[in-house]
């Protein structure tokens, strides 16, 4: 029965070939170079070193390390699921970026019937990819690579539409993507999990455990994410002092949330020891909470405080979820989510100073005055602080709704029978989808099928 | 007998000291700073931030990560050969770069009796180093560190001469080094293996196996190579839009070859599972196939197609090699090579658009016209498309010939008796050249010498 | 007794909360943005891409990888102490940087009653952090995370005062930090170890051993440090050709010390095998020895020679320390230190050419002459070569004295009873401070308490 249901021999190649044929067609018809990558656009006044490549590429490379190495290692924290964690992350991320280049390109870089491609699109696409990978964390161990591709196929457009709608019509500030990226990913993932709910995994799973080496690998993933998070949070801000502040705030917020995570981890453990899952996940909370205001003049101390608050929200929520029903290794992931729900909804928009849309509108004499002080200032919408707060709340609501809706639909699609979904006893197990080396599963965990274990009990 | 033949106590220090004395002498006599690293060349019009350091250094750092971490981890895929894979890569790469700075420096950065040193030389030297490391893959597990140093000592000059001859006299386009780097490395490695052929390793070797942790380590190596490959392919292109395109094409080509590799891996496996060796190696094929045309206006869709084709060539060739005689873990490496042979020879030069040498020559009125459109255009040789194609074929032929010749000579040198070559039963084993910790070889593979195994059979 | 003495449940949160409250207060009162991070300082003549962010950030990111990933992996070389090595490095580094931003900021970036924060401060703070982490190496396995935080709390100010005093009053050249960073860290660590001396650990400890995977992890740490060391050594030099030379010299010095380390490792081993600890540590010696003169016109050959000398000093000293009393895994660390003591004191200041303070003073006609040749030249102090040599010696003496004094005081503070110090038998063991997974300690080392082992003997 195993072979019938989970063999990738036909399903995966068929899906991949179909996707690639369609994408190759779309690339051929719609994708061209943007001005900085187009030889025809270079004139005798073009200075090669002014190319946007040199502005964006190294931030892009940092984010690449985060997505492929950082996430890959982080998701390899299960003892028998290391291959899957790293490899499915690799597969999903690669496809999500390719796909997002087209979908986001259509919304953001489309003109004259073409998507204009430069490093900046790749960077944007990696943000959409991050959304998919965060949602991936919610279904880790319970889905096949075919299901993951389908999830990415559906999530990327829903996210792109949401992002486009929120930024275009509601107009909020969200440089580090706290609202759009993390919140969307969170609710989408929750919604998918809700639909895919497997009651038999409710009491834990024999294979849903870590081992020493997998924990260390996952910790390396955390460190890579931690180290490059300032690049992530600042990659899409305005250049100059804005990006400079984004780097500073992210670093400070991460630092204070890291210290706080250590304190909580020792305090909440009954034997006063550190729990590695806290170090692996909660230390990163500060990078998320500083996100929405990362480029603003919030002061370094505020970034420090946001880091502490984010971590606190994350730890207390994670602690409380131990009382509620948990499914598999999701508590770890829910902890990460909790931070978002808590900070956005509890502390909410009162934390945000907002500039761009509170600037006076075109023609307002105040604008001219301000432009003398801040030359690059573009006309805004003249929103008051309260008005902007209402818009931020509207954006939250809109994002959450679309994410949940998209997640539910996606969940039902993933339940379709031919997607190689692993049965309960084969969850969290590399052996379903990989040729494993001979030492797989030695020397540790007995690999008794769940059924027989339950019989024993 | 083991101690007599493989002890490094005298051989390695003697060789290293000899090499270092010679190199120190050569550095002292011939190496000076280039203009951007020379305090005397800075005038009151020099703007420090215009230094080429800021243009090249971060690309250089990326390539460093690829060479030392990426290759190092990738080559540590064997269960009992992890130390050797990483450490011999470290040793060989370090020496190859030092040596290439001198040898390549003589061909490319030599004037007024001096080699002028800047970060750009280091970058060039790392490309020569990559050649040595790719060839290293062909002899992995079967040679001593002394042999590796000798191989690097011989391969670097042969490569440098080939590169110089091909670029200077035949004049081809090869920004990403598909032809020169990968093809040369491939044939050189094949030639060395041909000479060093060990019939007793033909039926496989008990130690030529992976384990769970070594596979994961190797996968991390792949991810680091994957992530920074755009830096590698674009590091030596013209600055500005050319480099921008090189980044885009490499990323797209890698992505499409990665998806394709997953499809083939599942399809060609009889149980419909993924094979990790495919993910570790074949995913990178696209980075190689886009290499020769990486900076040209080939369109993003063409890069996508090149990635798919490269991966396909690699997988089908690798599959076919399972019918032919294999030696040790080389099939894995031959798969990588196959891609090169296939794409260069089969699809061949018809894939290439070529600009630089097809531009009109000095004095041609067409040149002036074109220079109005493309101001940086240098006079070319006025070659037609067909002419250029002939030259590309000539370059292929020339590269392959010199690589094979050099490889055969090197192979015979490596057979000299005092180079600490490990005997057949001690191949793929860290214990020959390293003090290993007490847990080495537990809990897995029984380490019965090959002879006794054969006796049993 | 274990639970009473080493539980972190109260101690760690109490200390962290206290530190964070104080730091949040200090950040709120004293820290503001520097000009490049302050929106108010941008005028209509500000070009965003001239922001110092783009000059410094990617070097900062490289150093981040070194500190969090490189050091973290390197310190995880013990078989049962991998969690602690990586995680305590993470904790200590995070706190040290936060704290150094304030303390160093007060000495170096303080004006108008505020510390002005930019990426350059973070970079400076990471150098102070590196000092703490090097000293950490001396006490690895024998202290609690609470003790580590206290050590960082004390070491950062002592270092900052020393750095400030030496640079302001004695005025020496030390771009790569050979004297200040490495020498200070070394003597501070030695002094702390001297006070914390545990006679029972003198004969080795059953848990003070590596295993295959931990050695490979540590090797990865070495490779990350090796790869980014040029960024570290050049991050704080003058921009332009100075930084360019710093990169070149560091790379060359590292390369030659790496080759030399391989030669010594094979030569000094009685069976002619390589010892992984040498590859992990001694290969990096060259990065340290080129430090003090890294930005000067010393010629590439001199950098080569400095690398060889540094490595030689390190290996011979390390070999000689095997005759002296050793404590735990410190020999490994002492080897690293030896290099510093040897090169600074033996070869000493005669190696240094010194520019900055030997330049003619303001008003000297020679200055004007020189400024025609080297436009950026600032007036110096007109010191002769000999005078400068005396100052360098004075700086050495001053640094060593303050480091030793600070280390001794810190050592006594760390002996205070409530800092969760692990008892002798629980040294080098993750289980004291971490919840460990079920496979911890299998399949290797028998975890018999030291006492019972001694009874057996």
Q: Quote the pLDDT of residue B304.
A: 96
The position carrying tokens 């291959």 is: A83
Mean pLDDT of the A75-88 span: 95
B375 to chain A nearest CA, in Å? 5
Structure-block tokens of residue C387: 């005078």
CB neighbourhood size of A375 (10 A): 12
| Contact residues for A352 (Cβ-Cβ < 8 A; gap 6+) | A173, A292, A293, A296, A388, A389, A392
Across A106-110, B204-208, C337-341, C396-400, which has the greatest mean pLDDT? Answer: A106-110
Above 90 in pLDDT, residue B452?
Answer: no
The position carrying tokens 């006594």 is: C412
In this complex, do A87 and B276 lie within 8 Å of one another by their Cβ atoms? yes
Residue burial A347-373, b: 16+ Cβ < 10 Å; e: rest: eebebbebbbbbbbeeeeeebeebbee
Substitution target from B213, B439, B441 for chain C, most C beta carbons within 10 A: B439
Q: Quote the pLDDT of residue A403.
A: 94
- Could you tell me the sign of the dihedral formed by the alpha carbons of C404, C405, C408, C410, in that order? negative
Residue with the larger pLDDT of the pair C159 and B170: C159
Give C-chain residues touching B20 at CB under 8 angstroms.
256, 259-260, 308
Structure-block tokens of residue C161: 């005062």
The shortest CB-CB distance from A122 to any of B79, B251, B299 is to B251
- Per DSSP, the three-state class of B26 is helix
C305, C171 in Cβ contact below 8 A?
Answer: no
pLDDT digits (tens, 9 = 90+) for A46-73: 899 999 999 999 999 999 999 999 999 9
pLDDT tier for residue B4 given thresholds of 50, 70 and 90: very low
β-strand C110-111 against A114-117: which pairing, if any?
Answer: unpaired
Above 60 in pLDDT, residue C253?
Answer: yes
B118, C244 in Cβ contact below 8 A?
Answer: yes
C1 to chain A nearest CA, in Å? 13
Q: Quote the pLDDT of residue A205.
A: 85
Q: What share of chain B is helix, strand, coil (3-state, %, to 5)?
A: 70, 0, 30
C115 DSSP β-pair partners: C31, C110
B116 DSSP β-pair partners: B32
| Contact residues for C364 (Cβ-Cβ < 8 A; gap 6+) | C379, C382
pLDDT tier for residue B441 given thresholds of 50, 70 and 90: confident
pLDDT digits (tens, 9 = 90+) for B217-238: 999 999 999 999 999 999 999 9
Q: Quote the pLDDT of residue A395.
A: 84
- For chain A, list the domains and their CATH numbers: 2-42+49-353+384-452 (1.10.3430.10)
| Contact residues for B146 (Cβ-Cβ < 8 A; gap 6+) | B8, B11, B12, B15, B419, B420
Structure-block tokens of residue C353: 């050419």
Residue of B nearest to C237 (CA): B48
Q: Quote the pLDDT of residue A365.
A: 75
Structure-block tokens of residue C183: 């020498």
A251 to chain C nearest CA, in Å? 9
CB neighbourhood size of C389 (10 A): 16
pLDDT digits (tens, 9 = 90+) for A165-176: 888 888 776 666
- For the ranges B143-152, B224-233, B279-288, C313-322, which has the lowest average pLDDT? C313-322
pLDDT digits (tens, 9 = 90+) for C341-368: 545 444 444 344 445 566 667 777 777 7
Closest CA to B69 of B222, B215, B214, B251: B222
Rounded-to-integer distance, Cα A102 and Cα A107, Å: 9
Residue of C nearest to A57 (CA): C58
What angle, rounded to 10 degrees, do the helices at C241-268 and B82-108 form? 130
Mean pLDDT of the A306-321 span: 76
| One-character DSSP codes across A273-322 | -B-HHHHHHGGGHHHHHTGGGTTS---HHHHHHHHHHHHHHHHHHHHHHT
Residue of B nearest to C59 (CA): B58
Report CA-CA distances (Å) from C43 to A105, A218, A357, B312, C40.
33, 45, 21, 55, 8
Rounded-to-integer distance, Cα B421 and Cα B427, Å: 9
Give C-chain residues touching A358 at CB under 8 angstroms.
none
Q: What backbone torsions phi and psi does residue C274 show, to the nearest 5 degrees? A: -85, 140
Rounded-to-integer distance, Cα A318 and Cα A151, Å: 26
Q: Quote the pLDDT of residue B409.
A: 97
Q: Quote the pLDDT of residue C364.
A: 75
pLDDT digits (tens, 9 = 90+) for C53-74: 999 999 999 999 999 999 999 9
Residue of C nearest to B62 (CA): C227
pLDDT > 90 fraction of chain A, expressed in percent and rounded:
56
Q: What share of chain C is helix, strand, coil (3-state, %, to 5)?
A: 70, 0, 30
Residue A355 Ramachandran class (φ > 0 left, ψ -120 to 50 alpha, else beta): alpha
Helices (H) and strands (E) in chain B, counts: 17, 3
- Per DSSP, the three-state class of B325 is coil
Q: What subunits make at least 3 CB pairs under 8 angstroms with C?
A: A, B
Substitution target from C49, C61, C246, C248 for chain B, most B beta carbons within 10 A: C248
Give A-chain residues touching B226 at CB under 8 angstroms.
68, 90
- Per DSSP, the three-state class of C274 is strand
Arithmetic mean of pLDDT over chain A = 84
In this complex, do C272 and B19 lie within 8 Å of one another by their Cβ atoms? no
Arithmetic mean of pLDDT over chain B = 84
Rounded-to-integer distance, Cα B336 and Cα C141, Å: 44
Q: Quote the pLDDT of residue A448.
A: 43
What's the length of chain B? 457
Rounded-to-integer distance, Cα C202 and Cα C325, Å: 7
Mean pLDDT of the B3-8 span: 72
Residue with the larger pLDDT of the pair B198 and C382: B198
CB neighbourhood size of A346 (10 A): 11
Rounded-to-integer distance, Cα B272 and Cα A6, Å: 8
Mean pLDDT of the B260-276 span: 95
pLDDT digits (tens, 9 = 90+) for A6-30: 899 999 999 999 999 999 999 999 9
- For the ranges B236-250, B419-433, C189-203, which has the lowest average pLDDT? C189-203
Q: Quote the pLDDT of residue A378.
A: 65
- For the ranges A32-36, A356-360, B212-216, B362-366, which has the lowest average pLDDT? A356-360
pLDDT tier for residue A348 given thresholds of 50, 70 and 90: very low
pLDDT tier for residue B337 given thresholds of 50, 70 and 90: low
Rounded-to-integer distance, Cα B89 and Cα C258, Å: 12
Q: Quote the pLDDT of residue B44.
A: 80
B344 to chain A nearest CA, in Å? 22
Above 50 in pLDDT, residue B279?
Answer: yes
Structure-block tokens of residue B99: 């040596």
Closest CA to B206 of B422, B440, B453: B453
C31 DSSP β-pair partners: C115
Give A-chain residues touching B251 at CB under 8 angstroms.
122
Q: What subunits make at least 3 CB pairs under 8 angstroms with B?
A: A, C
Mean pLDDT of the B103-122 span: 94
pLDDT tier for residue C203 given thresholds of 50, 70 and 90: confident
The shortest CB-CB distance from A243 to any of C8, C31, C53 is to C53
What angle, rounded to 10 degrees, do the helices at C212-234 and B82-108 form? 30
Residue of A nearest to B50 (CA): A49
Rounded-to-integer distance, Cα C116 and Cα C121, Å: 8
C380 to chain A nearest CA, in Å? 33
Radius of gyration of chain C (CA): 23
| One-character DSSP codes across A240-262 | THHHHHHHHHHHHHHHHHHHHHH
Above 60 in pLDDT, residue B1?
Answer: no
Give C-chain residues touching B32 at CB under 8 angstroms.
299-300
In this complex, do C435 and A271 lie within 8 Å of one another by their Cβ atoms? yes
Above 70 in pLDDT, residue C378?
Answer: no
Q: Quote the pLDDT of residue B363.
A: 74
Q: Quote the pLDDT of residue B437.
A: 92
Q: Quote the pLDDT of residue C192.
A: 94
The shortest CB-CB distance from B3 to any of C228, C271, C374 is to C271
Residue burial B88-118, b: 16+ Cβ < 10 Å; e: rest: bbbbbbbbbbbbbbbbbbebbbeeeeebbbb
Q: What is the dihedral of CA A378, A380, A386, A387, to 10 degrees?
A: -160
| Contact residues for A371 (Cβ-Cβ < 8 A; gap 6+) | A377
Give C-chain residues touching B86 at CB under 8 angstroms.
216, 219-220, 223
The shortest CB-CB distance from C439 to any of A211, A226, A274 is to A211
Residue with the larger pLDDT of the pair C340 and C25: C25
Burial of B18 (0-12, 13-18, 19+ CB in 10 A): exposed
- Could you tell me the sign of the dihedral formed by the alpha carbons of C382, C385, C391, C395, in that order? positive
Residue with the larger pLDDT of the pair B123 and C371: B123
Q: Quote the pLDDT of residue C450.
A: 41
pLDDT digits (tens, 9 = 90+) for C388-428: 777 777 888 888 899 999 999 999 999 998 899 999 889 99
Residue with the larger pLDDT of the pair B87 and C310: B87
The beta-strand segments (E) located in B74-227 are 110-111, 114-117
Q: Quote the pLDDT of residue C405.
A: 96
pLDDT tier for residue A394 given thresholds of 50, 70 and 90: confident
Half-sphere exposure in the Cβ direction for A415 (13 Å, CA): 13
- Per DSSP, the three-state class of A86 is helix
pLDDT digits (tens, 9 = 90+) for A196-225: 988 887 777 888 889 999 999 999 999 999
- The reply to whether omega before A277 is within 30° of 0 (cis) is no
Residue with the larger pLDDT of the pair A358 and C94: C94
Q: What backbone torsions phi and psi does residue B380 show, to the nearest 5 degrees? A: -110, -145
- For the ranges A333-342, A423-432, C161-170, C348-357, which has the lowest average pLDDT? C348-357
The shortest CB-CB distance from B49 to any of C55, C266, C271 is to C55
In this complex, do A376 and C42 lie within 8 Å of one another by their Cβ atoms? yes
| One-character DSSP codes across B200-231 | GGTT--TT----HHHHHHHHHHHHHHHHHHHH
Report CA-CA distances (Å) from B430 to B5, B148, B434, B437, B439.
15, 15, 6, 11, 13
Half-sphere exposure in the Cβ direction for A445 (13 Å, CA): 23
Above 70 in pLDDT, residue A450?
Answer: no
């Amino acid at each position: 029965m195993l072979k019938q249901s989970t063999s990738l021999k036909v399903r995966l190649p068929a899906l991949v070939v179909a996707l690639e044929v369609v994408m190759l067609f779309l690339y051929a018809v719609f994708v061209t170079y943007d001005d900085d990558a187009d030889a025809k656009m270079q004139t005798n006044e073009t200075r090669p070193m002014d190319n946007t490549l040199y502005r964006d590429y190294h931030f892009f490379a940092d984010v690449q390390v985060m997505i492929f190495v950082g996430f890959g290692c982080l998701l390899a924290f299960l003892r028998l699921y290391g291959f899957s964690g790293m490899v499915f992350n690799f597969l999903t991320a690669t496809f999500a970026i390719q796909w997002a280049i087209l979908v986001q390109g259509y919304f953001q870089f489309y003109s004259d019937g073409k998507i204009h491609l430069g490093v900046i699109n790749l960077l944007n696409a990696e943000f959409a990819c991050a959304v998919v990978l965060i949602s991936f964390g919610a279904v880790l161990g319970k889905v096949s690579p075919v299901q993951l591709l389908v999830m990415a196929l559906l999530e990327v457009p829903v996210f792109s539409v949401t992002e486009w709608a929120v930024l275009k019509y509601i107009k909020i500030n969200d440089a580090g993507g706290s609202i759009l990226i993390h919140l969307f990913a969170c609710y989408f993932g929750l919604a998918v999990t809700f639909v895919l709910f497997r009651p038999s995994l409710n009491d834990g799973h024999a294979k849903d455990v870590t081992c020493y080496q997998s924990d260390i690998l996952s910790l390396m993933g955390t460190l890579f994410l931690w180290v490059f998070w300032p690049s992530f949070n600042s990659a899409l801000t305005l250049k100059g002092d804005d990006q400079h502040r984004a780097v500073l705030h992210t670093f400070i917020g991460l630092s204070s949330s890291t210290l706080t995570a250590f304190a909580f981890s020792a305090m909440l453990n009954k034997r006063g020891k550190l729990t590695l899952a806290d170090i692996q996940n909660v230390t990163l909370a500060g990078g998320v909470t500083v996100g929405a205001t990362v480029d603003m003049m919030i002061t370094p101390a505020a970034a420090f405080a946001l880091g502490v608050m984010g971590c606190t929200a994350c730890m207390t929520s994670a602690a409380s979820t131990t009382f509620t029903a948990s499914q598999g290794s999701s508590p770890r992931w829910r902890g990460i989510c909790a931070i978002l729900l808590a900070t956005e909804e509890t502390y909410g928009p009162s934390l945000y100073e907002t500039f761009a849309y509170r600037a006076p509108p075109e023609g307002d004499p105040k604008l001219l005055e301000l432009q003398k002080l801040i030359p690059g200032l573009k006309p805004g919408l003249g929103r008051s602080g309260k008005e902007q707060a209402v818009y931020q709340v509207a954006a939250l609501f809109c994002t959450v709704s679309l994410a949940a809706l998209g997640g539910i639909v996606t969940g039902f699609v993933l339940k379709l029978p031919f997607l190689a979904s692993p049965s309960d006893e084969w969850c969290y197990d590399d052996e379903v989808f990989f040729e494993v080396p001979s030492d797989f599963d030695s020397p540790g965990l007995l690999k008794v099928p769940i059924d027989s274990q339950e019989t024993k009990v």
